Amino acid sequence: MKAATAARFVTHYVEMVVAMAAGMLVLYPVWTVAITGTSPTSVLRSVEVDTIVMATAMSVPMVAWMRHRGHAWAPAWEMSLAMYAGFVVLYPLHWAGLLSEAAVMSYGHVLMLGFMLLAMLWRRHEYTAAHLDHQRVGNDTFTASVSTRSSS
């Protein structure tokens, strides 16, 4: 991989992590305020709900940033899936009593970064192209099929 290509790949990764961190710092606190006063045993305070909310708070700005930068919907949804997968794969270990709630939250964040890297390697061409090339490179078949159907 050429230096410029590698730099674009790393830049894409860092941009998505920054967008995720912004969601974690801005959107997730809204959730914590919203559940203030609920019972500590409420399902709203379960690790499963908490981590799904965290993944959503991180995914929303990340997808918005990706779309702003010209990425197609498919890679944006794949990156969102990486956010959720980082947590979901740990649930069975938590249910078996092998991981605490705090461990699910911590390890889930680490795993999501790895899943993001895998998604980026899967679509290497998407993440090594210049931002201006995304509309050409990102084959947005979902959007294309929807707009084709709606125009008929």
Give the pLDDT of residue 148.
40
- For residue 133, the model assigns a pLDDT of 58
* The pLDDT value given to residue 135: 56
Backbone angles phi, psi at 140, to 5 degrees: -90, 70
Ranges of residues in the chain with a pLDDT under 50 are: 136-139, 141-152
Alpha carbon distances (Å) from 25 to 3, 18, 28, 128, 131: 32, 10, 6, 28, 26
pLDDT at 146: 36
* pTM (2 d.p.): 0.79
pLDDT value of position 151: 43
Q: How confident is the model at residue 137, as a pLDDT? A: 45
Determine which helix (DSSP H) or strand (DSSP E) holds 134, and give its type and residue range. helix 134-137
Cβ atoms of 134 and 71 closer than 8 Å: yes
DSSP state of 131: G
pLDDT of the residue at 147: 38
Task: For residue range 106-126, list pLDDT tens digits in order.
Answer: 999 999 999 999 999 998 888
